[in-house]
Amino acid sequence: MSFSTSLHVLLLVLFQSVMVHAQAPKPLPPLLQKWAEAQKTMPDMEVAFRQTRSTPALKEPLSTTGKFWRFTDGAFRWQLGQPAQTVLVNDLTDFRVREVTGEWQMLDAKDARYRMWSRFLSGSEASPEELQQHFLVDAVEQNADVTAVTLRPKAPFVRRQLRQLDLQISPKTFRLLQLRVLQGDGASLTMTFSEPQTVSAAEKTRLLMR
């Protein structure tokens, strides 16, 4: 999947900046509130994931592995493919992307197409306030191991492209286990996350430089 396709989907998913109707936000479910609060204090970490994409035109879903690194200062690195086909890096000075064997291309983190992506990856958009501003809680199902939460965008024009988000969260560790995106065109994108791993200061420097 190309960067433009992946980024387009995930920009819609990961808290796209939109104007919403003025209304008093409903309280978030307690677990979702705790998960969102926990994002503010997450340590430097590396998370492997598997991305599966389905569309009406595909006979079989497309599955790809990737890795994501997020650091406490807001810097991050995201890459898709093994070996990496797409790499996105924000080292707090530059925001850049590289496709397969191409050269690095500079992006504008303030550009509306990338701003919410950048903020979500840095952790600042996964706050309770952002969730309440942009989404309605549609359903909550829980057991001892997993709490499943369905979110629906508030803005009508966003719902034409993004129907809902399904989050699976561990009630024991407040870790996001899976994110599923249902798009307006019938396509879906599922990201299943592995256990986070710690990252050293030296590894952080290496990851943000290359």
Number of domains the chain is built from: 1
Mean pLDDT of each 10-residue bin along the chain, 210 residues long: 49 40 60 81 91 90 92 88 88 88 82 55 67 83 91 80 86 89 86 92 89
Question: 14 Cβ partners below 8 Å, 6+ apart?
Answer: 116, 117, 120, 121, 125
Asked whether 70 and 45 are in contact (CB, 8 A), the reply is: yes
Closest CA to 67 of 53, 42, 50, 91: 50
Alpha-carbon span 180 to 157, nearest angstrom: 20
CATH, residue 190 = 2.50.20.10
Tell me the C-alpha distance between 67 and 12, whole Å: 20
Q: Determine the structural domain holding residue 24 and report its residue range.
A: 3-209
Distances (CA, A) of 83 to 7, 49, 86: 18, 14, 9
Q: Give me the pLDDT at residue 119, please.
A: 58
Write down the pLDDT at residue 17.
Answer: 34
Give the model's pLDDT for residue 64.
Answer: 93
Please tell me the pTM assigned to this model.
0.76
Strands 105-107 and 86-90: unpaired
